[in-house]
Structure formats: structure tokens, C-alpha cells
């Protein structure tokens, strides 16, 4: 299997990186050589001596690069409290969290009079800065891609985190992107353009809830995060999907002049990357006053001069606001999935009102039951599996329907009917985070709901459905598979996950750690300024560990992006999927890429043959002809 072999080769190469042999040079030679920077430490314990050696080494590195930081004190939080030397040392320390732990260590004498020497080549120090610069460039590219796909939350997060990384680089004012633009100006300009292109409109007000329409350059945003002033204080973080947001006001609060702040710092989520978390915590970043927006009381309009101005300066490929007409009030809005029909080659079919009537009756009953919290009143609408998923979903956070849902019914290549999409808001007492997910309902041939899932966004679905050379049924199953996969983790459906993994599946899990030596089957390696621990597990081990993980978490939320799919050159209906996964929970988070090899030869029973977590994206994935 080519993909697994490539991944194994990566680990093998990292595992056998050679280090300087002390047989060739003595410690005195290293300490006296201009090619090395060296730190020494003494203490009663090895740990104490090692930490002292690292601090000494950081000090030496700081002095060697101090001249490259022109105005570092102004970029630190409370920057006036630092002189240049201490400020540079603080910035260099952001690299030491992982990178400098990977320097060479020599124990001259053991406890109780421990003496440790840490050293690094000067050229390797330069590589440290180059590594961060490379990470910055990738982050800006991800932000640009997210902006094109209307994923405003990702765009703002990556731009801002990239800006913080930029501030920690030597000669930050000289760093340019591939187009030759200075990033110190380009990143703030892009963020301000995003804020200028956003419009938020009030579409409905009922009790204490206000439903919002959120547009970027005239198009519904795919996703965005925000807080708002609820009458007494700023709210917890809310997430909107597909142009639909919600406000929950305090009783009696005025709903005039509603104010919203677009989230862009994401300090609470930076822990998914230790390096970013450290940098964001000490760098000033930048205050973007344009992130404060006022909610308009009327419907969106193509004649809004602000929208037209934003569209005229846009560098994105989205349609300008001037070309968007306001739909007739009596005409139902076009749903996101309906927009896919002209783009998808195959048998994606929208049901007529007459064909959809019996399914619509069921969905209306389910919506009413959720709104009234009379969940058991619709038990007859579900199969046993569907009822179980429904009960898990409505108890996943404080579930609530957002506004008056606009949904459609589709078939593609099979007799099963899918309803897309019912927007629901979820909140968690112990976390303070709220977000909106579009829920899909799949009916079996008897007209009962057999499956519910958190739907993929329009772009992710299009990435799969546009492959005309693949069978219609395979495309539908792949789309549903990814939706069910992410939903199973969020709803902790261990039973479902046990069914979809092959008994002999190749499973490699990963996590970012501060530092851990290799033990047993675990392989710990250094990548992108962080330690990554990879573990090969059997299906039984993986499920056992997954169950423990589920039990320790109040909630799990997974975001998918940048999904690439290829079909195997042999073996029938076997597909390789590479997905960027942002994993969030109340006690852990990380970002990485999943590789899944899925066997769809039995369409009713998709099976995962391989699951590999990788901290980095494989840029050649789409070029893989077979695996």
C-alpha cells in the first residue's frame, strides 16, 4: 500500500536522523568553537541542571540574534517592561518549548552534583527561524484558501496567528509572500478587507432569540465565530454556519443597535498547537477595530453601498454583491445543496413538492418536537438506529432549532431520500462555547428516518460530488460517510465506529506532546517545532482507548476542511481520503490530517481499512495513482 509505505518511510527517516558524535569532538572543542552555541547547568538533579543549561543556551542564542530584532519590545505584551535583551530572550524562548528541547545534551557528571551541557550548531539556529517562517507562509496560504471558501473563522484565525508568528521572527519587516508583498502590511490589510466585506442582518426576533443572516461580499458565510453584547455583558463565543447565526438576549434587553465582535484571536483554541499558543500569549498582535460590527435591522440588499464598496475591492473569486439580486418575498430561498445541482454531474435530484410531501410532514413534526422538547412524541418517525442517534443529538448540548429552517429533499443514485439541512444551535454549560451545525436526515425506503448527521459544508460536499467518473451511489455514500464519521465522534457513537473499522485495520493515532521518549510501539519524533507521538494500535486497543476518551470529555467537536479524495487504481470501490481535522474538546485539542482508506464495495457497509493521523498535509496526495 503506497500511502502507508510513504508514511512509514517518513517515520523511518525521522527516527534515524544522525547526531553529532562526541567521539569526533570533545565538549571543550564544542564550547570553544565559533560554530556552536553552548549552555551549561549545574544542580542537585539532572532535571535542574538540564533546565539551567537550556536557560543558559537560550541566553546565548538571544545575544547572537539580538541585532536581527529591530523593535522587539514594541511587539510584546507590556513591552515597555522589557529591555531589548530580555525581550529577545522571551521571544527566543517561544522556540525552546519544543525546538531547543531537541538540542544535543551531554551529562558531564550525574546526581547529586549534576553537570549538563546543551549545545546547538549556529546553522541549526537559523533553521529554527526558517522553520517558523515556513509555518507562517503555510498559515497565510490556508487563510487565503479559507477566505475564498467563505470560511471566515478559519481565515481570520490563520491570518492573526500568522501575524503573531511574523512578529516573533527576526527582521519581521522584511518577510514577503510569494507575490513579493510585505506580510507586515499584507496580513492586516486582508483582515480589514474581511471585516469591511461582512454584513449582518436581523431576520427574526422571537422571545429572547434573534436569528441572523451573515454575509460576506453578498454571499452567506460558510462559517464565522463571534461574541455579542447581550444587554449586560459580552457573550460566550458563538459559531454560525452557512450564513445562519443566533443571539440569545437577556430578558428585557433592548434589541436596537445590536453589536457583534468577530472573533479573530482564538486565544482559547491556540492550545491545539503549543508553539502558536506560546507566541499568541506573549505577542501583542494587533487590535482590529473593524471587527466590531452593528447588526442591520432590515433584509440584505444588493443596493447596500457598503457591500458594493467591499465587493469592488475584493481579491476573492466569489461573486460580487452587485450581481446578486434579492429573491422575491414569496419565493422560498435557495438552499445550499440546491446550489450544487448545476455543478454536480450525475443524478443529484431535487424532489418536487409533491414527491417531498410525505417526507416534509415528518420533518415538520420533528422540528416541532425539538422546539417543544417533546422528543418522544416523534418516536414513530424513526427506525431504532435513527431514534438512538436522534436522542443523542438533542441531548448534545442544549440543542435548539435556529430560526425557520429552509431545507430540501434529495436523492442521488439510490431510492433513499436525504433532507438537507436543518440548522441547530448547541451549547455546553461547562465550556461556554456555542455553535451551529446543519443537520441532515436520511430516510429509508419505508419513509422512516434511519440516520442523522452533522452535514458537510457546500464546498466539502462539492469536492466529492463533482467527480463524474465515479458512480453516483459511491459519491453519495462517501459524502454520507464523512458526515457520519465526524458525527459519531461528536455524539460518542462507539457502536457505529466499531462497525465501520475492519477487524485488521491499520490504525495509527497521533497527538502533540511536550516531550516523551519512545516506548514500546510508540514513535515520538520532532516535526514543525513540536513533538509528535504516533502509536500503532489494533482495532481492539483503539476502541478501548476511544471509550476512555469519550468518558472523560463533556463534548467533542470536529471540523473538516481541505478534503482530498482519490480512487484506488485497483480493488474496485476503494477510496483514499485526506482531510484536515480540527479536533476540539473541553480537555484536549489538536490539528492534523487524517488519511482514511475506505472500502465501498459493499455500499451498505463502508469499511475503514486504514486510519492514519499525520501532523502535516501530504502535498502530493492528489497525485497518488494507486495505494
Q: Does 528 fall in a domain?
A: yes
Q: Does 200 fall in a domain?
A: no
- Do residues 22 and 34 both lie within one domain? no
The torsion angles phi and psi of 603, rounded to 5 degrees, stand at -55, -30
Cα torsion 386, 387, 389, 395 to 10°: value is 150
Q: What is the pLDDT, as a whole number, of residue 500? A: 93
- The helix/strand/coil state of 272 is helix
More confident residue, 59 or 327: 59
pLDDT at 410 over 80: yes
Whole-number percent of the chain with pLDDT over 90: 26
Q: State mean pLDDT over 572-591.
A: 80
CB 474 within 8 A of CB 600: yes
pLDDT single digits (tens) 371-385: 899 999 999 999 999
Q: What is the pLDDT, as a whole number, of residue 336? A: 54
Q: What is the pLDDT, as a whole number, of residue 446? A: 92
Q: Does 80 fall in a domain?
A: yes
pLDDT band at 499 (very low <50, low <70, confident <90, very high): very high
More confident residue, 149 or 345: 149
pLDDT at 130 over 70: yes
Q: What is the pLDDT, as a whole number, of residue 337? A: 55
pLDDT at 313 over 80: no
Q: What is the pLDDT, as a whole number, of residue 302? A: 44
Q: Does 440 fall in a domain?
A: yes
Q: What is the pLDDT, as a whole number, of residue 91? A: 75
* DSSP state letters, 381-406: GB-HHHHHHHHHHHTTTT-EE-SS--
User: Residue 296: in which H helix or E strand, if any?
Assistant: none
Decide: residue 469, CB within 10 A, 0-12 exposed, 13-18 middle, 19+ buried. exposed
Integer Cα distance of 412 and 414 in angstroms: 6
Least confident of 182-186, 238-242, 566-570: 566-570
Q: What is the pLDDT, as a whole number, of residue 311? A: 39
Q: 388-391 contacts: CB < 8 A, separation 24 or more?
A: 389/451, 389/452, 389/487, 389/491, 389/493, 390/366, 390/449, 390/452
Q: What is the pLDDT, as a whole number, of residue 441? A: 94
- The helix/strand/coil state of 39 is strand
* DSSP state letters, 482-501: HHHHHHHHHTT-HHHHHHHE
Q: Name the residue range of residue 542's domain.
A: 1-27+492-627
Domain boundary among 80, 111, 126: 126
Q: Does 268 fall in a domain?
A: no
Q: What is the pLDDT, as a whole number, of residue 18? A: 37
Give all strands of the β-sheet with 523-527 in edge-to-edge order: 523-527, 530-537, 501-513, 607-614, 589-599, 574-585, 556-567
pLDDT band at 429 (very low <50, low <70, confident <90, very high): low
User: In 201-352, which ranges are continuous DSSP H helix?
Assistant: 274-282, 305-312
Q: What is the pLDDT, as a whole number, of residue 11? A: 40
**CATH code for position 453:** 3.10.450
- Do residues 514 and 462 both lie within one domain? no
- Do residues 120 and 49 both lie within one domain? yes
CB 522 within 8 A of CB 534: yes
Assigned C-alpha cell, 35: 560554530
User: Taking Cα atoms as reference points, which of 388, 500, 494, 360 lies closest to residue 451?
Assistant: 388
Domain boundary among 78, 110, 126: 126
- Do residues 339 and 452 both lie within one domain? yes
Q: State mean pLDDT over 572-583.
A: 84
pLDDT single digits (tens) 284-293: 778 899 999 9
**CATH code for position 59:** 3.10.28.20
Q: State mean pLDDT over 318-334.
A: 36
Angle between helices 183-197 and 305-312 (to 10 degrees): 150
Q: Does 242 fall in a domain?
A: no
**CATH code for position 535:** 3.10.450.50
Residue indicated by cell numbers 475584493: 314
* First and final C-alpha spacing in the chain: 5
pLDDT band at 306 (very low <50, low <70, confident <90, very high): very low
pLDDT band at 161 (very low <50, low <70, confident <90, very high): very high
More confident residue, 458 or 337: 458
- Do residues 363 and 380 both lie within one domain? yes
CA pseudo-torsion sign 420, 456, 335, 340? negative
Q: Return the bridge partners of 204, or none.
A: 211
Integer Cα distance of 282 and 78 in angstroms: 9
Domain boundary among 57, 91, 126: 126
pLDDT band at 526 (very low <50, low <70, confident <90, very high): very low
pLDDT band at 406 (very low <50, low <70, confident <90, very high): confident
CA distances from 598 to 407, 541, 543, 575, 619 (A): 29, 20, 18, 5, 20
pLDDT single digits (tens) 49-94: 988 988 888 888 877 777 667 677 677 765 556 666 677 777 777 7
- Do residues 20 and 76 both lie within one domain? no
Integer Cα distance of 221 and 242 in angstroms: 5
The pTM score is: 0.66
Q: State mean pLDDT over 30-42.
A: 88
Q: Does 504 fall in a domain?
A: yes
pLDDT band at 216 (very low <50, low <70, confident <90, very high): very high
Instruction: Compute the half-sphere exposure of residue 599: CA atoms within 13 Å on the CB side of its CA.
Output: 14
- Highest mean predicted confidence (pLDDT) among 11-15, 127-131, 321-325: 127-131
Q: Return the bridge partners of 219, or none.
A: 216
> Beta strands 434-443 and 417-427: pairing type?
antiparallel
- Do residues 69 and 81 both lie within one domain? yes
Return the DSSP state at 283.
Answer: B
pLDDT at 200 over 90: yes
Decide: residue 251, CB within 10 A, 0-12 exposed, 13-18 middle, 19+ buried. exposed
The structural domain count of the chain equals 3
- Do residues 431 and 539 both lie within one domain? no
Q: What is the pLDDT, as a whole number, of residue 37? A: 87
- Do residues 3 and 51 both lie within one domain? no
Q: Does 560 fall in a domain?
A: yes
- Do residues 463 and 574 both lie within one domain? no
CB 317 within 8 A of CB 148: yes
pLDDT at 338 over 80: no
More confident residue, 500 or 341: 500
Integer Cα distance of 598 and 612 in angstroms: 12
CA distances from 170 to 57, 128, 130, 366 (A): 18, 11, 10, 58
- Do residues 403 and 534 both lie within one domain? no
Integer Cα distance of 346 and 30 in angstroms: 67
Residues in the chain: 627
Cβ atoms within 10 Å, residue 419: 25
More confident residue, 182 or 245: 182
Cα torsion 180, 186, 190, 192 to 10°: value is -160
pLDDT single digits (tens) 597-606: 999 888 888 9
- Do residues 516 and 618 both lie within one domain? yes
Integer Cα distance of 333 and 215 in angstroms: 15
Q: In whole numbers, what is the pLDDT of the chain averaged over residues? A: 77
pLDDT band at 561 (very low <50, low <70, confident <90, very high): confident
> Beta strands 417-427 and 400-401: pairing type?
antiparallel
Q: Return the bridge partners of 596, or none.
A: 577, 611
Q: State mean pLDDT over 549-570.
A: 81
Integer Cα distance of 623 and 564 in angstroms: 11
More confident residue, 255 or 158: 158
Integer Cα distance of 320 and 47 in angstroms: 60
Amino acid at each position: 500500500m503506497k500511502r502507508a509505505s510513504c508514511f512509514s518511510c517518513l517515520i523511518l527517516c525521522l527516527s534515524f536522523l544522525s547526531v553529532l558524535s562526541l567521539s569526533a569532538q570533545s565538549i571543550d572543542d564544542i564550547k570553544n568553537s565559533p560554530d556552536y552555541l553552548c549552555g551549561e547547568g549545574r544542580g542537585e538533579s539532572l532535571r535542574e541542571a538540564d533546565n539551567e543549561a537550556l536557560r543558559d543556551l537560550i541566553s546565548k542564542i538571544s545575544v547572537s540574534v539580538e541585532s536581527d530584532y529591530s523593535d522587539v519590545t514594541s511587539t510584546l505584551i507590556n513591552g515597555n517592561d522589557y529591555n531589548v535583551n530580555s525581550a529577545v530572550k522571551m521571544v527566543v524562548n517561544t522556540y525552546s518549548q519544543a525546538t531547543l528541547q531537541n538540542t544535543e545534551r551531554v551529562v558531564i557528571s550525574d546526581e547529586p552534583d549534576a553537570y549538563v551541557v546543551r549545545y546547538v550548531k549556529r546553522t541549526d539556529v537559523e533553521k529554527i527561524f526558517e522553520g517558523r517562517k515556513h509555518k507562517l507562509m503555510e498559515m497565510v496560504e490556508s487563510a487565503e484558501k479559507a477566505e475564498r471558501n467563505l470560511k471566515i473563522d478559519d481565515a481570520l484565525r490563520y491570518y492573526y496567528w500568522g501575524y503573531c508568528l511574523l512578529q516573533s521572527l527576526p527582521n519581521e519587516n522584511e518577510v514577503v509572500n510569494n507575490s513579493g508583498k510585505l506580510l507586515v502590511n499584507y496580513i492586516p490589510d486582508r483582515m480589514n478587507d474581511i471585516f469591511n466585506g461582512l454584513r449582518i442582518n436581523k431576520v427574526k426576533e422571537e422571545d429572547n432569540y434573534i436569528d441572523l443572516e451573515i454575509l460576506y461580499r453578498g454571499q452567506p458565510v460558510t462559517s464565522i465565530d463571534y461574541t455579542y453584547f447581550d444587554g449586560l455583558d459580552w457573550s460566550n463565543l458563538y459559531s454560525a454556519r452557512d450564513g445562519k447565526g443566533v443571539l440569545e438576549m437577556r430578558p428585557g434587553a433592548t434589541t436596537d443597535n445590536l453589536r457583534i465582535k468577530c472573533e479573530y484571536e482564538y486565544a482559547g483554541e491556540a492550545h491545539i498547537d503549543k508553539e502558536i499558543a506560546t507566541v499568541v500569549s506573549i505577542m501583542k498582535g494587533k487590535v482590529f477595530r473593524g471587527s466590531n460590527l452593528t447588526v442591520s435591522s432590515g433584509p440584505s440588499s444588493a443596493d447596500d453601498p457598503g457591500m458594493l464598496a467591499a465587493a469592488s475591492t475584493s481579491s476573492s473569486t466569489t461573486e460580487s454583491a452587485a450581481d446578486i439580486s434579492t429573491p422575491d418575498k414569496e419565493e422560498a430561498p435557495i438552499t445550499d445543496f440546491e446550489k450544487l445541482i448545476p455543478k454536480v454531474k450525475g443524478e443529484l435530484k431535487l424532489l418536487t413538492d409533491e414527491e417531498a410531501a410525505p417526507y416534509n410532514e415528518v420533518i415538520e413534526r420533528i422540528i416541532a418536537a425539538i422546539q417543544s422538547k417533546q422528543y418522544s412524541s416523534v418516536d414513530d418517525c424513526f427506525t431504532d438506529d435513527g431514534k438512538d442517534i436522534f436522542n443523542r443529538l438533542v441531548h448534545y448540548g442544549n440543542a435548539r432549532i435556529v430560526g425557520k429552517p429552509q431545507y430540501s429533499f434529495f436523492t442521488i443514485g439510490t431510492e433513499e431520500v436525504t433532507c438537507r439541512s436543518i440548522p441547530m444551535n448547541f451549547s455546553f454549560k461547562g465550556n461556554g462555547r456555542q455553535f451551529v451545525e446543519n443537520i441532515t436526515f436520511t430516510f429509508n425506503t419505508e419513509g422512516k428516518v434511519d440516520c442523522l448527521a452533522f452535514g458537510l459544508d457546500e464546498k466539502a460536499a462539492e469536492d466529492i460530488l463533482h467527480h463524474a467518473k465515479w458512480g453516483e451511489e459511491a459519491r453519495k455514500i462517501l459524502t454520507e460517510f464523512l458526515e457520519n464519521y465526524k458525527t459519531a465522534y461528536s455524539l460518542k457513537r462507539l457502536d457505529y465506529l466499531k462497525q465501520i473499522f475492519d477487524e485488521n485495520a491499520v490504525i495509527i493515532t497521533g497527538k502533540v506532546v511536550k516531550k516523551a521518549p519512545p516506548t514500546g510501539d510508540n514513535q515520538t519524533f520532532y516535526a514543525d517545532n513540536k513533538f509528535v507521538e504516533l502509536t500503532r494500535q489494533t482495532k481492539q486497543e483503539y476502541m478501548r482507548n476511544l471509550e476512555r476518551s469519550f468518558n472523560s470529555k463533556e463534548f467533542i467537536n470536529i471540523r473538516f476542511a481541505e478534503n482530498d479524495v482519490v480512487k484506488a487504481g485497483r480493488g474496485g470501490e476503494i477510496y483514499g481520503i485526506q482531510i484536515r481535522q480540527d479536533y476540539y474538546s473541553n480537555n484536549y485539542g489538536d490539528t492534523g490530517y487524517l488519511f482514511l482508506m475506505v472500502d465501498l464495495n459493499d455500499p451498505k457497509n463502508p469499511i475503514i481499512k486504514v486510519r492514519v493521523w499525520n501532523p502535516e498535509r501530504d502535498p502530493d496526495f492528489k497525485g497518488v495513482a494507486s495505494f
